Chain A
Amino acid sequence: MATYDYVEKAIKITRREFLGVVGVGAAILWTGAYAATDLVQDRTKYIKLRAAGLYRDDAKAAARQSHNNAAVGEMYKKFAGKPLSPLAEELFHTRYVDRSKLGGMRS
């Protein structure tokens, strides 16, 4: 199974390409090692920091399971009945569209 690693998808811009993109002056400062990889690693860091923030929010929550959210229970009691009730089906469920069959005007 594929291992997800953001670095694998690093934007690989070679020195020559970089020259094309930004110009000669900047490219002089572009050392092979410095690079997009570095910045993509930064991004992975962001993902991890944000994810950790949500796990902290979970850890400190008074109730940690959806069925223990009393406000949801109250909503079912006063309004929707129970999960998958006819009203729940009407308001909380949907259908999908086979878009490969939607008429197109692709020119």
Chain B
Amino acid sequence: MQGLRPQELAEIIAIDRKKCKGCDACKAFCPTDAVTGKYGAVHRVDGERCLFCGQCLVNCPFGAPQDTVDIVDKVIARLKDGRTTVVAAIAPAVRVAVGEEFGLEPGALVTGQLLGALQTAGFKILDTNFAADLCIMEEGSELITKIRHYALGEAAGHAPGPLPQFTSCCPAWVRYAELYCPQLLPHMSSAKSPLMMAGALAKTYGATEVWRTNPENVFVVGVMPCTAKKFEASRPEFASAAAYWHKRGSAGSYPDVDVVLTTRDLARLLKKLNINLTAAAEFSDADNPLARYSGAGTIFGNTGGVMEAALRTAHFVITGQELAALELNPVRGLKGVKAAGVTLRDAKTGREITVKVAVVHGIKENLGPIVDEVVAGRSPYHFIEVMNCPGGCVNGGGQPINPMGTSWLDKYKAILPWS
């Protein structure tokens, strides 16, 4: 199939013909016009165009689009086999949404119970927030190298990639760029997404330093607000841990991240195991360094969060001082494109630089003009964050739906005479 390599998962999102009413609502949310079908007729997803973002799924009023990759039972089998170190890598946005599946208020922050419930189920923890901090160190250093080279005139060993730099943590955005604007690829940060870093780290450092086990026995389960992460995990280049061990004399071939559960999948898994999140014992693994994270790591789940986290660190690295006010309000909130400038005085040279940044969320509505500027070579920015989903990962295609999306029908059913 065009646009996919043989190993990659295809058709992650498919429309159930029996449920689709042909109402066209999903088309208003699809970033790539991948949904086809005439008004009133059954619609289908064109898997070559699709980013697997799941926005159609969470917005269809009839619950017709399905996530076709169901590996809940496979994960349960691994948890029970007694041989495998099953590591859950939990994304930031899961901890403020999974509670909804257990009757809690939307936005309820349940980190302690979530990690506790996972522990009860038999998982080891690598918080993806830890990997988000790691991502800032890598992606931020990459950005700072470019800024020092292009804007502050510092010589670099070899010319770094061009500015502006784009964030690379959203797999739907990466696939979008790869499919529809490959000329932007040199601008992409080379940093892997936090989940892919988490996988590579779990099967190297995690295996040897934390869980003290054979890397081949480590089974990494991403727990994500996102259906596109299922695709990302299947990309063949994400087998860095196996390559690392290969160089050190052990064979074995395995991906960095074995499978991905969405927030909805995780709730199903816990329910199958009779674990009630709200009654779960709080997490108790204080000596696991991979479960520690900073405030910067956790806001990755919000639009503007990656940018805010990156600027906190860039400020420190360039000026030698912490930002006085950590909340960068211009990059918060739901405005479609948010721009900001932060003036920094370089501690090394004494020169000043205003770092210009932009934040885009909702590819469908807001990406076009920003990309056009970059392609035309007149983008004013140094760093651009892109998240496919409106609002960022908190509104990802793997998040709980009720009482949003599908259930808007349920909501009106409540006032129907026959219900």
- Once the chains bind, are A47 and B334 in contact (CB under 8 Å)? yes
Is A75's CB within 8 Å of the partner chain B? yes
The range of chain B's interface size is: 35 or more
- Once the chains bind, are A105 and B137 in contact (CB under 8 Å)? no
- Once the chains bind, are B392 and A9 in contact (CB under 8 Å)? no
Chain B contact surface mostly? helix
A13 to B28: give the CA distance in the assembly, Å: 12
- Once the chains bind, are B28 and A11 in contact (CB under 8 Å)? yes
The range of chain A's interface size is: 35 or more
B405 to chain A: closest residue by CB: A43
A84 to chain B: closest residue by CB: B141
Q: A20-B40, A67-B137 are in contact. Are A58 and B1 (CB under 8 A)?
A: no
Q: A58-B298, A83-B141, A84-B142 are in contact. Are A99 and B178 (CB under 8 A)?
A: yes
B336 to chain A: closest residue by CB: A4
Q: A4-B366, A91-B244 are in contact. Are A49 and B107 (CB under 8 A)?
A: yes
Residues of A within 8 A of B365 (CB): 2, 4, 9
Is B151's CB within 8 Å of the partner chain A? no
Within 8 A of A (CB), among B146-195: 168, 174-175, 177-180, 182, 185, 188, 190-192
- Once the chains bind, are B295 and A96 in contact (CB under 8 Å)? no
Stretch among B82-90, B277-285, B299-307, B345-353 lining the A interface: B299-307
- Once the chains bind, are B390 and A105 in contact (CB under 8 Å)? no
Q: A51-B394, A99-B179 are in contact. Are A92 and B138 (CB under 8 A)?
A: yes
Q: A67-B313, A93-B190 are in contact. Are A4 and B5 (CB under 8 A)?
A: no
Residue from B106, B192, B404 within 8 A of A93 (CB atoms): B192
- Once the chains bind, are A88 and B23 in contact (CB under 8 Å)? no
Residues of B within 8 A of A1 (CB): 335-337, 339, 369
Residue from B48, B192, B294 within 8 A of A65 (CB atoms): B294
Residue interface bits A63-87, CB-to-B below 8 A is 1, else 0: 1111111111011101110011000
B interface residues, Cβ below 8 angstroms from A: 1-5, 21, 23, 25, 28-29, 40, 48, 59, 61, 92-93, 95-97, 105-109, 111, 130, 132-138, 140-142, 145, 168, 174-175, 177-180, 182, 185, 188, 190-192, 196-197, 200-201, 204-205, 209, 237-238, 240-241, 243-244, 289-290, 292-299, 301-303, 305, 309, 312-313, 316-317, 322, 326, 332, 334-337, 339, 361-362, 365-366, 369, 390-392, 394-395, 399, 403-405, 408, 411-412, 415-418
